[in-house]
Amino acid sequence: MTSSDWNPCDGTTIGSSDRHQRDPDAEDGLCAACRATMAAADAAAPRSWVLFCERTKDGKLEHFYPAVRVVEMCGGKLEDIVRVRLEPAEDGDLWGWRYSHHPVNTTYRGQVSMIYSREMLVEMCFPYGTAAEKKRGRGEIVRLKAEILGPAKKNEAIGG
Ligand SMILES: [Zn+2]
């Protein structure tokens, strides 16, 4: 095998002895075993997410983050910040990006991010568009509905 044949799987841990190759021409950069692991994790992952966001004076929800502090950094005042549960919904008025369990997504695996009131705004987060990212197995656009759970408390964070 020449060095040009060496095409490591994206599931290979850098510096690990567990080095293996991706499938030839694999668009997701994975081997079959890592792809199966990703698919199983995606299938088992919860399809609802709790985050914080700002509720504007006209009732719009924006700046979704897992920590109140970050919503405040986007200009939200604590009294306008609420805890919400997001769930996929065909008639939802929000769109976001759901990270797959692809190894390159690291700590974002299974999370939703880039949540906006228009699908095009999610699209614009990706220089080559979401279709290219989806093809690479990195995630997908999800249409979401938000349920307000209650007011946020100072310095609250999900999982922390
Ligand atoms: Zn692999």
At 44-102, the pLDDT tens digits run 998 999 999 999 999 999 999 999 999 999 999 999 999 999 999 999 999 999 999 99
- Cα(8) to ligand 1 centroid in Å equals 8
Question: Can you tell me the mean pLDDT for 8-29?
Answer: 85
Tokens 């919503």 -> residue: 71
Residue 109 burial by CB count (10 A; 0-12/13-18/19+): exposed, middle or buried? Answer: middle
Q: Give the bridge partners for 30, in sequence order.
A: none
- The pLDDT of residue 101 is 97
* Distance of CA 126 from the midpoint of ligand 1 (Å): 25
**Do 110 and 41 meet the contact criterion of CB atoms below 8 Å apart?**
yes
pLDDT at site 4? 62
Residue 154 has a pLDDT of 96
Question: What pLDDT sits at residue 160?
Answer: 58
User: How remote is the CA of residue 100 from the centroid of ligand 1, in Å?
Assistant: 15
φ, ψ for residue 32 (rounded to 5)? Answer: -60, -40
Query: 3-state DSSP: the chain helix, strand, coil percent, rounded to 5?
Result: 25, 30, 45
